[in-house]
Structure 1
Amino acid sequence: MIGKIADGEARDRLIIWIRRRMAEFGITFEALAASIQHELDHPPLYRDAKGNDWNGLGEMPDWLRAAKNAGVDPAFFRIAPKQEPEKGRRGKRYVQADLFE
């Protein structure tokens, strides 16, 4: 049950906590939905080993600028586009086992 909250009461408390934080910071559901849609429309193009990412919009982030100034080609951090499986391809498909399920 990774990523799921089994206890209904814990889930309810979490929802209350999230709604309070949203009210505290003035975040509306519309703004939240717009932010999620923006992330879906502009996925990250660059990512480092620490999980920092950048979608290529706006100013280059400090972590990527520092790497570039140190002589590392920004293309090193480029995320490869996901390959669509070839239609009609036969054979075994190997998948990494999830050790945490």
Structure 2
Amino acid sequence: MPYPVRRAPSEGTSFIPLLLRSSSFACMPLALLQDSDTQLLRERAETILWIKTQMARYGLHLADLQSAGCFSEGASFANAPARPICFRDAYGHAWDGHGDLPDWLQRAVNAGQSIEHFRVKP
């Protein structure tokens, strides 16, 4: 049985990730989503979709999160001091060095790139 042949995209063709097509940003103009200045909007849309997926997976509702104190005054991270960025790539992705490696950095390390290549020089 032959394998399906994948065609290269024609010039000018752009692929919008499935996450963006299925998120609340689907009604935004395509040019706005493709603009390099909208990285934050794309990441926000991906995060919102991830939260919705996790809530559906575990059967959580907004009331469950409110009763657990997720939206109380003490739970605000807005007043927390920002950590300095330790790693950054050419696309503007940044990581402060705390927690698990972000996807973009994990992919680069898996491809053989040294993590030190992404370290921000003081």
Q: TM-score, normalised by structure 1?
A: 0.44
Tell which has more relative contact order, 1 or 2 (C-alpha 8 A, sep 6+).
Answer: 1
Q: TM-score, normalised by structure 2?
A: 0.37
Bigger Rg, which one: 1
